[in-house]
Amino acid sequence: MKEEIENALRMIWMLNEDGKDVEERQIEEKVLKEMIDSDLVLLSQGKVNLTERGKKEAEKIVRLHRLAERLLTDILGIREGVEEHACRFEHVIDDEAEEAICTLLGHPEICPHGRKIPPGSCCLKNEREVERVIFRLSELSPGDEAEIKYIVADEEESKILLSAGIIPGVKIKVLRVYPAFVIQIDNTQFAIDKRLADCINVIKKV
């Protein structure tokens, strides 16, 4: 598939995600025609709607884009120009690489901007064949040391974690996991429940 078509699919899907309709005029004529011809979209009353096939394709592209964002920020530690990199990345990852990346990241559900990553078949199987690098804090055991890589949290949870300085890049030590989680950061100990421990994704120190 051509890049222009992939980009158009992604745009339509993301606008739909926000509950917005897509007008005919928002898409280049040539691209639109090609999309209709390959049964990716349907036109009705000036609005562009994804077909079942189109939806599937679009979902895959969005998924790749957001996985790429995760990979670039969490693992490779790239801070600037993530968006452009991800845009190029999404067109070159093949199915096998996609599953490997997804498993490596621990089947993340949300991109760094807080948007949902559409699940792939590997997530549904919850595969753990590729050795996992990213763990949730809630999966660690007492004595484990780790570095926080990313946090997936709602506004309330983020506020608490942020105000305590529990943010990516911080090194933690797990002291206890029952009856609640106790972690140590520098000389300070925090008790947190499973809900918060689930939000924190880390790389274990070996």
Partner 1 sequence: MEINEKILSERLGIPVVKTVAIERKGILELKEAIKQALSREFHPVMKIKFSRAIEKQISEIESLIEKDYRMNRRAIAILLLLGDYDILELLKREKNFSKIKEKVSIARFSVLPYEVLREIHENAERLLDGVVVYRETKHGLLKKISDLSLNPYFSLPLAFASLAFVYFFAGFLGAQILVDVIETAFEENINAPLNKVLAIYVPNYWIRELIGGEYGIVTLGLRYAVAIILPIVTTFFIAFSLLEDSGMLPRISYLLDTLFKKIGLSGRAAIPLLLGTGCGTMAVVVTRILESRRERIIATLLLAVGIPCSAQLGVMIGIAPDIKALLIWIFIVSLVLIATGTAASKILPGESPIFFMELPPLRVPSVKNVIYKTLSRLEWYVKEVMPIFVMISVLIWIGRITMVFDLLIAALAVPAKAIGLPAEAGKILLYGFFRRDYGAAGLYDLAEAGVMSYNQIIVAMVTLTLFVPCVAQFSVMCKERGLKTSVMIFLLSILIAFTTGYITYNLLKVVG
Provide the binding-site residues for partner 1, judged by CB under 8 A.
79-80, 112-114, 151, 155-160, 162, 164-165, 167-169, 175-176, 178-180, 182, 188-193, 195-196
What 3 state SS string does 88-116 have?
HHCCCCCHHHHHHHHHHCCCCCECCCCCE
Q: Which is nearer to partner 1, 40 or 200 (CB)?
A: 200
Provide the minimum distance between the beta carbon of 179 and partner 1 in the complex, in angstroms, as a whole number.
5
- The candidate with the shortest Cα–Cα distance to 69, out of 40, 30, 105, is 105
Q: Which is nearer to partner 1, 55 or 190 (CB)?
A: 190
Provide the minimum distance between the beta carbon of 67 and partner 1 in the complex, in angstroms, as a whole number.
18
- Is the Cβ–Cβ distance between 144 and 175 less than 8 Å? no
Q: Which is nearer to partner 1, 2 or 159 (CB)?
A: 159
Provide the minimum distance between the beta carbon of 190 and partner 1 in the complex, in angstroms, as a whole number.
6
Measuring CA to CA, how many Å separate 8 from each of 13, 57, 81, 120, 174?
A: 9, 11, 21, 21, 45
Provide the minimum distance between the beta carbon of 176 and partner 1 in the complex, in angstroms, as a whole number.
5
Measuring CA to CA, how many Å separate 178 from each of 5, 132, 151, 203?
A: 51, 24, 22, 21
**What is the DSSP secondary structure assignment for residue 23, as one 8-state letter?**
B
Provide the minimum distance between the beta carbon of 83 and partner 1 in the complex, in angstroms, as a whole number.
8
Strand partners, 185: 188
Provide the 3-class DSSP secondary structure of residue 171: strand
Provide the 3-class DSSP secondary structure of residue 152: coil
Q: Which is nearer to partner 1, 19 or 179 (CB)?
A: 179
Q: Which is nearer to partner 1, 40 or 82 (CB)?
A: 82
